[in-house]
Structure formats: structure tokens, C-alpha cells
Structure 1
């Protein structure tokens, strides 16, 4: 720290004489300037040596950050765990200890002495290697056994604890096998849940929960093939067969409304959700197949061979779909213009149509075989 000292004189001029006093010296400290040195890139000349000090590769120029460990190595070698060399000042010469890259076989053996799995790992001869590819359904006995010291020509048997495992075979209703997986747990009798990734692609099941059985047992799970996005467009009628049929939303959650027995409803979509089949009866409402009777349905891609026989005055529709009004239910009429008892369409629901006609002065659109809706009921 730089110091500067000055003597300050003060005085009074009296009869040609200066009477003065010496004021206590004042010390001024120069401000200390803090300097931050950025990471410095340097070039060092590195010679690679083996564990016995023999030269593996002559000196070559390498760049790095001053103070950073030197990890580069010639082809077929890697930095030895024992090497502590770091990049020094620009132009320094450094010696780095390297070791030969090797491959060794690792066997994972369970608590009963049975081979669970094997793998080949690569690393530097004499270096430590941390194992990360633990076989499915196994745990390490302790953390220390995850690390092995690699020695050329050595084969390793690593102890692991294998959990109880069951094989799960997925079958469709007709007993066709469509996939397999394994489930694991600490002991038989505990609950294990299948993950979505374990289910065969394009299939679903009514329940993913299983009870783990004794080691080596096989379990069978029935799955159902899902349609694209789970919904199949159809045209048809469903009839309620139970005293009160609960309505459900598209996620399978029960709603507050119900439909009465023997009532009939137009449907335009079928959905398979978690293995349960539903039929849509309004924009947001669905009935379970177990609560209804499907009196007739066809996919929207099917051709109606009787499309022109029911009414000779009908002609091709001027629209591809109609949507019911958002107020009340829309009455359905037969080919003769007679209202069909207990058959109505839900409010604000879209329906495919292929024919239109004018009957008794009223324009109507066909939404299914022998089923028509008045133009006054649509938007």
C-alpha cells in the first residue's frame, strides 16, 4: 500500500516573523485496485507416459485452461486415475500418465448364485469404473459394489439382490398373445401397477393393478385394441335396458344425469376407454354398453345400400352434417314423417347426413336409416 506524508504548516505573520506550528502528519492510503484474472487459455507441451515411466507418445502441443486437469490421451489410451497433471503457464512442458483402454466382462449374480445378466464395459486398465447398468428388478447390495477396478483379462461377478419377478402375458379376448413384460417387487402378495410403457402399443386394459405372485409365476392380462384416439364414428340407435342408466363424460367419470329404461337414443360415436365400451348420446354424455342394447349401428364409412329405397323423393343432402340446437332434445321421425317414440337427439350435437327431402312442406335431413330430423331442429 502506497503511503504519502505531508507536513501542513500554519502560522501567523508577526513583525516579519512567522510563528507556526507543525500539524500532526496525515497519512493518505492509495486506493487498492482489485483485479480479476479471467480464465486463461494456455498451450502446454504434453508427453504421455505409462505407469512405469516409459514414453507412450512424444511431446505434443495441447491447449487448455490454466489449472485444469489434463485429460487428453493418445488413441487406445485414457488418462490414468493416478495422473494429477494440470495445465500450467503458457509454454510449459507437462508429463501425463496414461493407461491402456481395455474391455472386461461383468456378470450380475443374485442372492441365490444365479446369473441375472452380463455386460461388457470399457475403461482404462487399473482405473476404477462405476457400474450403472443395473439389471431390471435388482438392487445393489451396497454402494461400494457398484465400483470395480479394471484389470485386463479379469472377469467380474458382481452380487445383486433380485426382487420377486412375474412374467405378464397380454392376451386379447380371443386368447391371442400380443405382448409380454415382467413385474417386480420385494415379496409376493404386494400390489404392483403396470406402466403405460409396459402395455402393448395400441392396447389398453381395464385395470393395471396386479398382485405379485411367487417367484417365476406367470400372469395373464386381457387387453383391448384401441381405435385411433379411442373413438369410433358410427351411426345407430341405443336402447336403455336398466331402470336408470348413468351418463358419463369422455373421461369415464359419472355425471349427475341418468336416462330411463326403454328410452332410445341416437348415437354417432363409440368409445373404448380402459376396456369399457361407451356410446355417445349428446355432446358431452355417454352411456355404458352394459346399460344399453345397440339396436343397429354402422360406421360412418359404411355405405347404406338402402339409401334410395326408403323415400323416392329424397335427394343428396346439400350439407355433410347437421347440428341440433342448443335447447332441448330434437325429435326423430321415420321415413313417413311419423315421430319415433322415445327417440331424440341431444342438444348441440353434430350428425352426419346423406339425404334430404321435403315432406308435408317441411325440409328434413336423414341422420340414419329410417331416421330424419326437421330443419327447424338444427342450426
Structure 2
């Protein structure tokens, strides 16, 4: 069995940057080395890039696919909606573009002649237009789907400052206007402005920001400004001098919370403290300008009061179960042997808003100075979905859970999608009961869009097979089947995104005429125990399956590369009680994988590489824990690895909105999400936390139920 060699994966992640899907999906591909997509020769992308460039080359409008409206269905005096046509144009150019965008046709699908009746002199946009067909004229108003400017908070809606002067000098840097509107048809440049109420911050509180551009006011947003100043640490009484060394949490008169950690207890009448501002989860509050923790120094008196009945003084310290941060602490005293149980802890927490995360019991000893408890705090946030077109609410959703925990939006209004994909995963915050999230209407189209697919031999450039002519909906991922006797030249050629009507697509194929003959040989006996034959494209990869009752000796053998110069290959296998999923991988970021012997004793001389893949041929239970054998008398803990099945295919996200992304332990990744109906190369599937998932990047997975294999 080969050892100490990482399994190298070859393939691609189908980034929307390449395929031209909603660009927000790009956030799903982390730039870190642990979550990076696998590389691909970009020379293969020429056709895809050309198609996208055709769609995006014009800056006159954001909408390149429009619903047809039959003249016979058009109501005189009605209103037609259209994307604005930005950029200075001549009257004839503007009218021609607008006619195509409004897309009013006769019964044969041909555009009906259009005339601009009135024009907005400020913007240059047509206000009313008329259509004439067979002697009948209908006049309609034109409503441009201008998006309203929105407010962007670069450091979040809660902004913390050490003074009013700092706040007033920097608010304009932390709060900005975002608008997708361009220059108007008269060529006037779009400009952005921001007003605030109050205009000058003098105390902590809410500030309402109103954005504007040349088309009018946008959607107001409210932020919270916290002005911090040095607090006074309260004096306290403890039972022993040692207890003076324990940290305390306290709330200032203005409601702001602090953690005070003693730094010098030499003089109890003036104990020195390092004071840090904290939030309800016990997390450090950072200055929104510098990014540094808001800290102060201070002193307070500590009185030591002897009590023969309660000689032991200690602190009950409560830590957030999610963050591990101290959120509350209180000085107590008791006797050796006293049981400090959940009842006592609950009593101490009364009025704080925190509850114990589980039953916890500890016993006082003579040297006890601190007893820790894990607590949680309920967080409830009402999400208000705001349309970036109308500025009005289109729905709400209530998020419930523990403070600091992560959750996903589940009730995005029907017919809308998020403006910012990063909003899909939310971190619950007990300090934020309300939150506005911007959404935009999902573009729809009446009827199907047509497309034509031509297959060409990559080597000769000649057309092969029959052209595929069909229809689909805007944004559909169209899966394809290669012509008989051919295979796709790359994973990219397995399909395409339908982005416009009459879309012409070229897909490259290679002759799948290279035979392969694989002989599976038992490495212990040298006898052949199975064969696998077929034909495929030279240089392509297929996933092999070991004969029943056997497992591969090396993980590298599972992905087999067809080679015209080596039509026959021998792959060694060994007997195994693993009927399926007999390949395991270490978790990324976990470091080396430890090796144990069959008695469960740690082998200090051997480790496996982080994230590497290995064949297992036996499972064993040692002291109640499950182990997998990767070599003779060498085992890994089942908890240190996960089983998976190799794949060579594409998973296309489905559903009506965004697709959440998880890591290899099944935890949702807070700042990742994939757009709906987008294709992603996947090289393995695994059951993680009871859910079947497909891997789309080194440590990024999507649920099988959220996707479809193509």
C-alpha cells in the first residue's frame, strides 16, 4: 500500500465569473488555499467567455432578455416596465434600443413600429410611446426600473467610537451610498449624496441615513452609534485576597458592558484593572475607525471580609457557549465541599438574560477561586426585506436561536432574490432586534428562449453529430450529451447557461475511441480477480470500482486516466470487508492525521498528511471508539477522517434562491452561498451529519438535495 503521498485531484470549479451567472456567486469561491477551486486550462473557456462578453458588452441597459408583449394584448393607456437605457444617445438610437427592450410584437413575433411621444427633458428618457399596427394606434407610458440608492455600512450597522469628535469625523467614511444607476440619457453623470439625522452626533443613539442620486432619494437606513468613554469600575467585597484577582463584568450607567481584568492587586484599596468593552456575547467591542479593541485602565477598591462560616471566596464566571467569552461574573463565598449546581447558577443569572446551556454541577475545594459555567442568550431578529426598486417592505422573517450562532434565511419573498449574497447566512445578535435586507425582483420572461448547440471535434474543428435546437427558460443550465462515439473535451462542455434568445453555442468533443483494459489483481495472491474494459477519450478520467469483496490498495488508482499508449493496465486490490465508501480523507486545517496500532496505542513515528486520502480495508472498535485500518497494524480514528465516494461530474444548484455551502464537518459557512441554477465541478460525495453532500471546493460542500448531478 502506498503511503505518505497526498491524493492529487484534477478538475475545475465552474466559477460564475467564467460562465456569466449572477456575479454574487463568486463569493462561494474562497481565495484561501484551503477553499480554493481546482485549476483549469482557461484556453478551454474561449467559447463561454465570448458568449458572456456578447451579453455584457453593451452598457446601455442591464436587461438583455425581455418578455414579448403581443400588440393584440397591449392595453391602450397602460404602462410598460423596462430597464433604464443609460448613457448619452441620439434620439434615433434611444428609440431603437427602447423598441427592442419593450419588445412589443405582432402575431408573427416581429417588432411593431414604435414612436416616442413625450420625453423627460431632465433625463432624456422617453415618458410615453405609441405603437401603430393595421391602422390601430396604442399609446402607453414607460416606467423605468430605476433602482433606489441604498446605504452601505462598511463596519456594520452598529458603529463604535471613543468620542463624538471621532464619530463625526469618520461617519462619512463608514457609511456610503451605493447605486447601480448610470448616467442618464442626456449624458448627465450620476452623483451620490448622503444626509443624516441628526446631522451631528452628540450622544449614543440611532442615526438615520438617507441616500440620493440624480434620480431622487433612495432607501433610508438606520445605524446605531455608540460613544464610549472610560467607565468606573465598581468597588467590591471578597472573602480572601486571592479572590481579588478574579475578573468581573459590569454594566455602566449608560448600559454599556465591560470586562475588568485585574492587573495589579498589590494595593487592595486601589486594584488596577484593564477594562475592555464587550457586547452581549462577551466579544470584544472594536473601535470602528481603528479596528482596535476599546480598552481603558482604572482602579477600584476591594475589601476582604473574613467569614468563619464561609472561608472560601470565589467567582462564578459565566462564558458564552458559542464564543467562550466571559459575559458575566459575580463574587460568591462558600464552604469546602459545597455543591454549586445549576440552581445556584440560575439564581446568579437572574435578570441577566442568560440561561445555562446544560446542567452543570461543581464542588467547592479549599483552593477554588473560580467556577465556570457555559451559558447562552436567546437572540431574536426580525428581518425586513426591502425592495431596491420601490424602497418598500416586501416581506419579513423572524430569526430565532442562540446569540452568536449562525442561521440561514428561509423566507426570502417569492419573486425576489438577495442584492447581497452575503446576507444569506446570518449571525444572530441579541443586540440587534431588527435588520433590513435588500432584495431585487427576479427577472422573468414570457415564453421560452431558443438555442442552438453545435458540436465540433477539438482536433479537426469539424462539426460532428447533429445540431441540438431547443428551448429553455432564462438562466437554465442546459445539460448536454456528447454525440455517439465522442466525449466532451472538458467538464465545461457538459452544458451551458441559457442567457439570451437565439443563443448559439459551440461545444468541443474528442473521439472516444481509445480502448482500455484493466486487470484487477489481488496483491497477496497475484491472481486476477476482475476486469473492466471500455472505450473513452484519450486523456480523460474515469472513476474505477473495485471488484466485490476487494478494495484498492492505493487511493491514487481510483481515478484512472485513459492512455492510448497504454491500453492495458494492472490495478492491485486486496480483500476487504468494506462494501462501499472505503476511501477516507483527513479534514482540512486539522494538521497531520495520527496513527494508532490495533490496540489503540498512538504511533509517535508515523503520521498521515493533512487532508490526504487513504484506502481502508477494515474497521475495528477499540475501547468504544471506531478505527479504520490504512496499513498493516496502522489505524486512524474514524473521528479524524470522513468517508467519501470519488466522482467526476457536475452538480447544478437548484431551488428558488441561494444554495448554502458547508465545510467538511457539516457546518454552514457564514460568508459563502452559491447562486441558484449554477454548475459546479464535484470530485466526491460524502454523507456528512446524515446528509449526502457533494464537494465543490477543497473544504466547501453542498447538499445533494440542493443540487442535481449532470
> TM (normalized to structure 2)?
0.18
More helix by share: 2
> TM (normalized to structure 1)?
0.32
Bigger radius of gyration among the two = 1
